[in-house]
Amino acid sequence: MTTAVVMPKPRRSWYKRNEIAVTPWLFLAPAILFFMVYVIIPIFQSFNLSLYRWDGLGAAEYIGMANYEELLADRAFETSLWNNLKWLLLYLLAIPGGLFIALLLNQTVAGIRLYKSLFFFPFVISQIVVGLVFTWFYDPTFGLLNVMLGWFGLGPLNVLGDPDLVTYGIIAAGLWPQTAYCMILYLTGLNAVDPEQIEAARLDGAKGWRMLWYVIIPQLKPATFIAFVVTIIGALRSFDLISIMTNGGPFGSSRVLSFYMFEKALSEYGFRMGYGAAIAVVLFLIMLVFIAYFLFSMYQEEKER
């Protein structure tokens, strides 16, 4: 807006005068409204609720930081926190795994589309089905895993009944569909790789790992970023697999924060709303680290353009 603009008709309506400034907000309004009601306000409500003792029925009683103090001494919470960390770290294996399969499948052979769909299949089926399939696979009495271990003279192993192994067992089940997801992201990314640059690199004598590391992977950076984002988010909401495969057990050793929150606040034996909210707040703070990082990287990207 510059002052040089001359207004020929000073009696235009307010909306007409401010159309350029107002219209974007009008279009944004529904989204902002729902985002406030369903995301932003509940976050603050959770913060508030975590300071109360409330069973969801009677009156809530203000108890200050007592829920957080209890969390500090709660070993089940500690276990869940460590399991969350294991999920975050090991789930990232889906990214190199997906890249490797994508490179393998990125060629023109007869029937490659069929192979691609087969590799993508685990991502299409529901997490619940993945969980069930792996539960049967791990079954200590009838499962395939112990049959396979038997070929090498190992086992038997009860993966989902062993408090030390159970989380790794569930993560392995989760990696199956997640790798497929990353693979698809990389397959589309590989389509966008510039053939001229590869040609040029080849003329300069690059091949194998050096070609991959210095020429192809840098061009896949957008795909890697998205793969990283979806994998971190996937790791943090690893609820359904745990629920279907172990229900948090044996004796709580496979719980993660989201599952523990559900158990304390919403399950059959729960209804400690304040305590559940306190766990949710901790989970939110962990997520906030990643959210801040994602937003920052996206902001940087925008600026470069």
Partner 1 sequence: MKSILKASVATFVSVAALGGTALADAHAQQLSGDLTIFSDMSNPAPRAVMEGMVARFGEMHPDLNIELTVIDREAYKTQIRNFLSANPPDVANWYAANRMKPYVEAGLFADVSDLWAEDGMEALASTKGAMTIDGKQWGVPYTYYQWGVYYRKDIFDEYGLSEPTTWEEEKANCQTLLDNGVKCYTIGTKFLWTAGGWFDYLNMRTNGYDFHAALTGGEIPWTDDRVKATFANWRELIDMGAFIDNHQTYSWQEALPFMANGDAAAYLMGNFAVAPLRQAGLDDSKLDFYQFPVINPDVELAEDAPTDTFHIPAGAENVEAAKEFLRFVVSADNQTLINNGENLGQLPVNANSSVDDDKFLKQGFEMLSSNSPGGVAQFFDRDAPAEMASEAMQGFQEFMVIPDNLDDILARLEKARQRIY
| Residues found near partner 1 in the complex (CB under 8 A) | 55-58, 70, 75, 138-141, 158, 160-161, 246-247, 249-252, 263, 266-272
Q: Residue 150 CB, nearest distance to partner 1 (Å)?
A: 16
Q: Residue 73 CB, nearest distance to partner 1 (Å)?
A: 9
Q: Which CB, 62 or 213, lies closer to partner 1?
A: 62
In the three-class reduction of DSSP (H, G, I as helix; E, B as strand; rest coil), residue 53 is classed as: strand
Q: Which CB, 236 or 261, lies closer to partner 1?
A: 261
Q: Residue 67 CB, nearest distance to partner 1 (Å)?
A: 12
Q: Which CB, 196 or 268, lies closer to partner 1?
A: 268
Element (H, E) at 61: strand 61-62
Q: Residue 271 CB, nearest distance to partner 1 (Å)?
A: 7
Cα separation of 255 and 163, whole Å? 11
CA 77 vs. chain centroid, Å, equals 20
Q: Is the peptide bond before 156 cis (omega within 30 degrees of 0)?
A: yes
Q: Is the peptide bond before 96 cis (omega within 30 degrees of 0)?
A: no
Q: Residue 285 CB, nearest distance to partner 1 (Å)?
A: 25
Angle subtended at Cα 284 by Cα 283 and Cα 288, rounded to the nearest 5 degrees:
120
Cα separation of 296 and 305, whole Å? 15
Q: Which CB, 219 or 267, lies closer to partner 1?
A: 267
Q: Which CB, 176 or 271, lies closer to partner 1?
A: 271
Q: Residue 186 CB, nearest distance to partner 1 (Å)?
A: 36
Q: Residue 129 CB, nearest distance to partner 1 (Å)?
A: 18
Q: Residue 239 CB, nearest distance to partner 1 (Å)?
A: 16
Cα separation of 240 and 244, whole Å? 6
- How far CA 209 is from CA of 96, 185, 217, in Å, comes to 14, 21, 10
In the three-class reduction of DSSP (H, G, I as helix; E, B as strand; rest coil), residue 211 is classed as: helix
Q: Which CB, 132 or 226, lies closer to partner 1?
A: 132
Q: Would you say 186 and 223 are in contact if contact means Cβ atoms under 8 Å apart? A: yes
Q: Which CB, 82 or 293, lies closer to partner 1?
A: 82
Which alpha helices (H) appear in the chain, and where do they start and end? 14-17, 19-35, 41-49, 66-73, 75-91, 94-105, 112-124, 127-138, 144-151, 166-191, 195-203, 208-211, 217-219, 221-236, 239-245, 257-265, 273-304
Q: Which CB, 106 or 267, lies closer to partner 1?
A: 267
